[in-house]
Amino acid sequence: MTRTIPLLIASVTGFVMIASWFIPAAASWGDVALQWFNILAAVAFVLGGMNLLWMHLRKVSDRRAGWGYSAVTVFALLATLLVGGLKLGVVPREKFPDASWSGNYVAEGSGLWWIFNFVIAPITSTMFAMLAFYVASAAFRAFRAKNLEALLLLGTATIVLMGKTAVSKWVTGWIPEQIEVDGVLQANPWAALRLERITEMIMDVFNTAGGRAIMIGVALGVVSTSLKVILGVDRSYIGSDRE
């Protein structure tokens, strides 16, 4: 029974969402289901935050390895909750000039604005900057021309990198965009060999085709996985795939 009820809820909700998309008379059912989803998501956020706080507090209390990072996590979580819960806005507000922190809590100068721009944004930039080194290392290993596929990858990447930089002007910049024929300027057919033109063709044709193929595969995977959940074949979300 403890697993049958979640299976029924998932199946009924899935069929309701499908019906709301394909049956006009059932369009409002999807809105109701989304409202229930928002309620459950809010509860899940609360439970997730409490679990995160409890785990890191225990780690700090036990002085386990890396407890300092847990202390920073706890401090950041509580500080953000305090600023967001109290809605500390900009100071002062024109309507209430004597009431501190009573202005718009998402405007420039508010607490949440400060946290986002001076804490989250620098941390995110740092993470992406560090990822550049991992990307360079992975590219070095992937671009070893051990077989035909790796050779094609290496050649394509080299052309795109050169076409996106000033190197393209140095290598193929001598090829004119237009030529004069009988005193009239016409498009030069050989201009297609310029590196920037080849790069545009790779990005617009081959890259777009590959991206669309990947998206089609992802869509088919989502459909198949959703059907497994709706029909009760996949039960991993309730902790086990067995009754």
Residue 48 corresponds to which amino acid? G
pLDDT in tens, 104-126: 777 787 888 889 999 999 999 99
Higher pLDDT residue, 240 or 99?
A: 99
Q: What is the pTM of this model?
A: 0.58
pLDDT in tens, 177-198: 888 777 788 888 888 888 889 9
The pLDDT-based confidence of 243 (bands split at 50, 70, 90) is very low
d(CA 91, CA 100): 6
Name every residue whose Cβ is closer than 8 Å to that of residue 163 and which is 6 or more positions away in sequence: 195, 196, 198, 199, 200, 202
Specify whether the CB–CB gap between 111 and 88 falls below 8 A.
yes
Minimum mean pLDDT range among 19-33, 35-49, 168-182: 168-182
pLDDT over 50 at 98, yes or no: yes
pLDDT value of residue 52: 93
d(CA 138, CA 76): 33
Q: In 3D, which of 192, 139, 195, 138 has the Cα closest to residue 162?
A: 195
d(CA 167, CA 11): 57
